């Protein structure tokens, strides 16, 4: 809490000098909230207790870890939560809206570690989700054998470095079929500590990891980072890397330029694209919020929040800050964040975790109205959590076609919010992708585009890691409103495409890539209803 108080005091001047802007933004938000309260487009219920979630969070390690993944392959997504002091907990989804402590819980508790961020990942492509837990010290990789978890940290080469791990991001940046790893470390006052540097690891066919951090600038990697995400921002069919950094050091966008440069070529394009945007950056979210077919970036900070609109569709690989213009600006101390279509209207809404008990600045939920505008429905929706919320991650844990989420409250515990929005007339589609041979098993980096009967299209991107300290559900969720899908296109991580006719709504589909099929075999159908 000492760090939070220091940050709040540091930015007291900003709140004063920017009072006119703040008052305008806040007044506008309250008017929007009042106008939308009657319609209540999005509604959440706190079901933490009734769902069986009881994970505390204690300690001074300023991060919460929350990750969704189906660890037992029973079709229901499970949940792992961390604490800085004490035992972490793996919850098994019972499939009836409730959770039970997993039979494997003791194997992944790590009660002797100060745990932070976490991700579920199938690093060895064996069909079972493994677990990476970041710690204040040495990180831990737990391999899922199908009948339990075993610690493989040392055997795969991830035990050499120790830092203050906040978040992890995964993608197959070199296209060898295995997911590579970027770990974000944060540092406090001691800027001379060599352990503060982030790390980039190359996956060696699921058997080991090689530290290839030297392909990036070690000075830039030594900034105090909080979160990262791999995303193809320039639409050239490879995975670029965006890292958000604290303390006004500036964020970094590494453009993936392919083979060479010793191991692989990445170019820092932060300054020339406008993605650098110095702030006290903490959480990051990515989505095509304005439906112009490129991916935009939103990140949290202190005294401001930033929405970087990607200008690729407008003809240039650059970003401009449109947070104030679109209605998603706040002066609250903010942390984890993500986009998700909570009311299934086809437009992704925006959630922002904050460390503020003031109802006007507690956790924010911005309803995407389309046409590039958002309305603050935080209080009316029931998502306004007055605690010090750090992390948050979404999943449709009960399978009803409405996106739910879990929020991590520092030094308190976790809350599970069930989406109870009245959207019976709104269509939706959940799309999962799998791969064998050519890509990693989860096909991270795949895009799915839905073409609708009104001529519009909606694009989603599968990424692993973002927000802060965790991961969301892997399946891509599409709200459709009252429209119907005419065609679905899967764009695999190498840019190859497959198109499919779709006649169903309000269901889950899985598309599997097979290496026996031609890369550009449009029309190859491999969908299975779930």
Distance CA 42, CA 25 (A): 21
Pairwise pLDDT comparison (410 vs 20), residue with the higher score: 410
351-377 residue pLDDT tens: 999 998 888 899 999 999 998 999 999
Lowest mean pLDDT among 286-300, 344-358, 381-395, 421-435: 421-435
Can you name the residues that pair with 441 across neighbouring β-strands?
A: none
**Percent of the chain residues topping a pLDDT of 70:** 88
Please, which pLDDT band fits residue 313 given cuts at 50, 70 and 90?
A: confident
Please, which pLDDT band fits residue 190 given cuts at 50, 70 and 90?
A: low
* 51 φ, ψ (degrees, to nearest 5): -85, -10
Instruction: Give yes or no for residue 84 having a pLDDT over 50.
Output: yes
Q: Which residues contact 449 (CB under 8 A, 6 or more apart)?
A: 457, 458, 459, 488, 489, 491
At residue 142, the pLDDT reads 98
CB of 118 within 8 A of CB of 131? yes
* 506 DSSP assignment: S
141-152 residue pLDDT tens: 999 999 999 999
Instruction: Give yes or no for residue 522 having a pLDDT over 50.
Output: no
For 84, the token pair is 């800085």
At residue 263, the pLDDT reads 92
Show the CA angle centred on residue 43, arms to residues 37 and 49, nearest 5°: 135
Coil vs helix vs strand at 323: helix
HSE (side-chain half, CA atoms, 13 Å) at 221: 21
Distance CA 296, CA 310 (A): 5
Please, which pLDDT band fits residue 518 given cuts at 50, 70 and 90?
A: very low
Could you give the C-alpha distances from 272 to 156, 255, 269, 350, in angstroms and in order?
Answer: 37, 11, 6, 27
Please, which pLDDT band fits residue 191 given cuts at 50, 70 and 90?
A: low
Pairwise pLDDT comparison (194 vs 261), residue with the higher score: 261
CB of 229 within 8 A of CB of 465? yes
Lowest mean pLDDT among 63-72, 154-163, 192-201, 326-335: 192-201
Show the CA angle centred on residue 281, arms to residues 243 and 1, nearest 5°: 125
* 198 DSSP assignment: -
269-292 residue pLDDT tens: 999 999 999 999 999 999 999 999
Please provide the size of the chain in residues. 530
Per-residue DSSP letters for 368-382?
EEETTEEEE-HHHHT
Please compute Rg for the chain using Cα positions. Answer: 21
* CB atoms inside a 10 Å sphere around CB 271: 12
15-28 residue pLDDT tens: 322 333 333 333 34
421-466 residue pLDDT tens: 987 689 999 999 999 778 999 999 999 999 999 999 999 999 999 9
Mean pLDDT of 179-187: 95
In the chain, count of helices (H) and strands (E)?
8, 37
């Amino acid at each position: 809490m000492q760090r939070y108080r220091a940050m709040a005091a540091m930015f007291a001047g900003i709140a004063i000098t920017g009072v006119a802007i703040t008052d305008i933004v806040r007044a506008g938000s309250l008017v929007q909230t009042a106008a939308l309260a009657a319609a209540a487009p999005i509604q959440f219920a706190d079901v933490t207790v009734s769902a069986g979630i009881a994970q505390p969070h204690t300690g001074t390690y300023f991060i919460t870890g929350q990750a969704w993944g189906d660890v037992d392959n029973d079709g229901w997504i499970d949940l792992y939560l961390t604490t800085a002091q004490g035992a972490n907990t793996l919850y098994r989804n019972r499939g009836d809206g409730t959770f039970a402590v997993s039979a494997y819980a003791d194997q992944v508790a790590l009660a002797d570690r100060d745990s932070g961020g976490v991700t579920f990942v199938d690093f060895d492509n064996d069909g079972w989700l493994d677990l990476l837990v970041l710690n204040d010290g040495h990180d831990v990789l737990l391999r899922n054998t199908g009948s339990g978890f075993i610690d493989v940290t040392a055997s795969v080469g991830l035990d050499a470095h120790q830092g203050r791990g906040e978040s992890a991001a995964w993608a197959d940046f070199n296209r060898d079929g295995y997911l590579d790893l970027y770990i974000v470390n944060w540092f406090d006052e001691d800027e001379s500590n060599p352990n503060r540097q982030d790390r980039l690891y190359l996956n060696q066919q699921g058997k080991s990891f090689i530290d290839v951090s030297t392909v990036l600038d070690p000075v830039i990697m030594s900034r105090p980072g909080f979160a990262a995400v791999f995303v193809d921002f320039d639409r050239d069919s490879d995975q670029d890397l965006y890292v958000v950094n604290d303390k006004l050091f500036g964020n970094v966008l590494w453009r993936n330029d392919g083979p060479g440069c010793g191991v692989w070529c990445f170019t820092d394009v932060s300054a020339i694209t406008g993605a650098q945007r110095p702030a006290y950056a903490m959480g990051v979210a990515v989505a095509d919020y304005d439906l112009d077919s490129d991916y935009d970036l939103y990140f949290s900070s202190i005294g401001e929040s930033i929405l970087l609109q990607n200008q690729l569709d407008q003809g240039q690989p650059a970003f401009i800050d449109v947070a104030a213009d679109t209605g998603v600006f706040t002066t609250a101390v903010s942390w984890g964040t993500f986009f998700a279509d909570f009311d299934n209207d086809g437009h992704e809404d925006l959630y922002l975790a904050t460390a503020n008990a003031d109802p006007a600045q507690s956790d924010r939920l911005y309803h995407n109205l389309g046409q590039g505008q958002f309305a603050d429905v935080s209080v009316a929706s029931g998502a306004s959590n007055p605690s010090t919320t750090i992390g948050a991650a979404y999943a449709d844990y009960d399978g009803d076609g409405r996106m739910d989420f879990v929020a991590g409250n520092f030094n308190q515990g976790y809350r599970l919010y069930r989406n109870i929005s009245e959207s019976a007339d709104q269509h939706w589609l959940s799309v999962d992708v799998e791969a064998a041979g050519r890509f990693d098993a989860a096909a991270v980096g795949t895009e799915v585009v839905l073409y609708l009967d009104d001529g519009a299209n909606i694009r989603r991107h599968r990424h692993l890691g973002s927000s802060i300290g965790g991961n969301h559900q892997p399946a891509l969720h599409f709200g459709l409103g009252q429209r119907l899908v005419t065609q679905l296109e899967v764009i695999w991580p190498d840019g190859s495409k497959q198109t499919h006719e779709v006649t169903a709504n309000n269901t889950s589909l899985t598309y599997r890539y097979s290496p026996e099929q031609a890369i550009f075999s449009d029309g190859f159908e491999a969908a299975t209803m779930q």
